[in-house]
Homo-oligomer: A and B are copies of this chain.
């Protein structure tokens, strides 16, 4: 059942496009899932992709438009006539996907597209959704939901269902509201099927319903849906009226994006980029962190230069500079990654910062003593300077302990003052630990040598 995209497939399709062989090209993509077609368009150039895109029927086209990468979407919208976008595709999209799509355009383009949509209700839903910020529950939600009144019977519900469900792909829950449209519970399809048709909703609905406010953040939404294993989550306004619903497929994207973002930050990448993005985007996302690293390197050079005379006297001290900075960096990144992940998945619990730090330092002592003993043994046999052997090992132990403390404390502190703690990981913490590690190393060296 599953389609596997191959290079041959793309080459064949390209040839058909070249020949303007509409029928065979159509036959090649006809039975594919929208997500697969989106992958195919991703491999074609704009002209070819638009050609294929215009072969799709409205429903498939709308699904594809919702699935493709944002960059691809932008290049499509640019070349397609506004009326085609509106009539052929937006009209067939779920309201949340349509709002996402339109939200990225200029105000004039938005108005133009909306003016071409025939169904006033659809246009109204999209306009409503455009008010919400993209990364809030309001921005994630769609307007497609099945709503029943608490005073109806199962029979009325079934009738309403056939009416309301026409435009909805899949129904997971039926939401129950009171006369003021306030959300009071859910009704599972299973329950509805298994109850007599004369039963009143008020007697069979499930009053325990999890919901979020329209301005809840997308992270909050994903944590709730993940924790409570929800497939759909209703969104309410400040007085509890049902405004829309968020489905799990949109949240899966948020979860992956969040996890990827933290990883990218830790790797010194400041924007959400992908392997296939342009050189320009890739450079822009990476350069800021490299400049921090550069500044850190220059500071390190200044720190070392203050010990120039010592270095001339005992050049062997320079040999272990990379070891000290690398170990400080590694330990700092390890400690901060654990904290950042714990904060992201909300699993840190109630342990106080102090006891967490103590535990972290305990671990650092174990690792630090292991590593510096090994280094001591190495230098004992292979170095002829006793002072060097002691200073390098003592410095390594101190640097490991210090780096694990900063790695733990800095993300916790940033989180407290509402700055994304992931900022602390990667180049930032590595650079800081480099400089402090050098200070520690050179000071200890100076003490033991008496020359630095």
Using CB atoms and an 8 Å cutoff, list the residues of chain A in contact with chain B.
1-2, 7, 10, 31, 33, 35, 42-43, 158, 161-162, 165, 168, 170-172, 188-190, 192-194, 208-211, 224-229, 231, 248-249, 252-253, 255-256, 259-260, 262-264, 266-269, 273-276, 279, 282-283, 286-287, 289-291, 293-294, 296-298, 300-302, 304-305, 308, 311-312, 315-316, 318-327, 329-331, 333-334, 336-339, 341-342, 345, 347-351, 356, 359-360, 362-363, 366-367, 370-371, 374-375, 378, 400, 425-427, 430-431, 434, 438
* Cα distance A425–B269 in the bound complex, in angstroms: 14
What B residues does A298 contact at CB under 8 A? 323, 375, 378
* Cα distance A333–B431 in the bound complex, in angstroms: 14
**Residue among A252, A298, A301 having the largest count of chain B Cβ atoms under 10 Å:** A301
In the complex the two chains form, is B287's CB within 8 Å of A333's CB?
no
In the complex the two chains form, is A334's CB within 8 Å of B269's CB?
yes
* Cα distance A400–B427 in the bound complex, in angstroms: 15
What B residues does A283 contact at CB under 8 A? 363, 366-367
* Cα distance A365–B61 in the bound complex, in angstroms: 40
What B residues does A362 contact at CB under 8 A? 279
In the complex the two chains form, is B276's CB within 8 Å of A349's CB?
yes
* Cα distance A270–B183 in the bound complex, in angstroms: 46
Q: A186 to chain B: closest CB distance in Å? A: 11
In the complex the two chains form, is B337's CB within 8 Å of A434's CB?
no
Q: A402 to chain B: closest CB distance in Å? A: 15
What B residues does A359 contact at CB under 8 A? 279, 282
Complex partner residue of A255 from B193, B256, B276, B301, CB under 8 angstroms? B256
* Cα distance A319–B318 in the bound complex, in angstroms: 9
In the complex the two chains form, is A267's CB within 8 Å of B337's CB?
yes
Residue pairs across A and B with Cβ atoms less than 8 A apart, 9 shown, are A193-B193, A225-B252, A252-B252, A259-B263, A266-B337, A289-B334, A297-B324, A301-B320, A330-B427
Query: What's the number of copies of this chain in the assembled complex?
Result: 2
In the complex the two chains form, is B231's CB within 8 Å of A172's CB?
yes
What B residues does A300 contact at CB under 8 A? 319, 322-323, 326
In the complex the two chains form, is B161's CB within 8 Å of A333's CB?
no
The SS class assigned to the A binding surface is: helix
In the complex the two chains form, is B248's CB within 8 Å of A342's CB?
no
- For residue A301, which residue of chain B has the nearest CB? B319
What B residues does A35 contact at CB under 8 A? 227-229
* Cα distance A359–B208 in the bound complex, in angstroms: 54
* Cα distance A274–B351 in the bound complex, in angstroms: 13
In the complex the two chains form, is A268's CB within 8 Å of B194's CB?
no
Whether A289 touches B256, Cβ cut-off 8 Å, given contacts A193-B189, A283-B367, is no
In the complex the two chains form, is B231's CB within 8 Å of A349's CB?
no
What B residues does A326 contact at CB under 8 A? 293, 296-297, 300, 325, 329, 430-431, 434
* Cα distance A35–B286 in the bound complex, in angstroms: 39
What B residues does A322 contact at CB under 8 A? 296-297, 300-301, 304, 321-322, 325, 434, 438
Complex partner residue of A264 from B231, B324, B341, B426, CB under 8 angstroms? B341
* Cα distance A327–B228 in the bound complex, in angstroms: 43
In the complex the two chains form, is A268's CB within 8 Å of B228's CB?
no
In the complex the two chains form, is B315's CB within 8 Å of A308's CB?
yes
In the complex the two chains form, is A371's CB within 8 Å of B1's CB?
no
* Cα distance A210–B34 in the bound complex, in angstroms: 13
In the complex the two chains form, is B273's CB within 8 Å of A2's CB?
no
* Cα distance A338–B271 in the bound complex, in angstroms: 12
Complex partner residue of A350 from B1, B43, B273, B301, CB under 8 angstroms? B43
In the complex the two chains form, is B275's CB within 8 Å of A347's CB?
yes
What B residues does A363 contact at CB under 8 A? 279, 282-283, 286
Whether A341 touches B262, Cβ cut-off 8 Å, given contacts A312-B312, A323-B294, is no
What B residues does A371 contact at CB under 8 A? 290-291, 294
What B residues does A193 contact at CB under 8 A? 158, 161-162, 189, 192-193
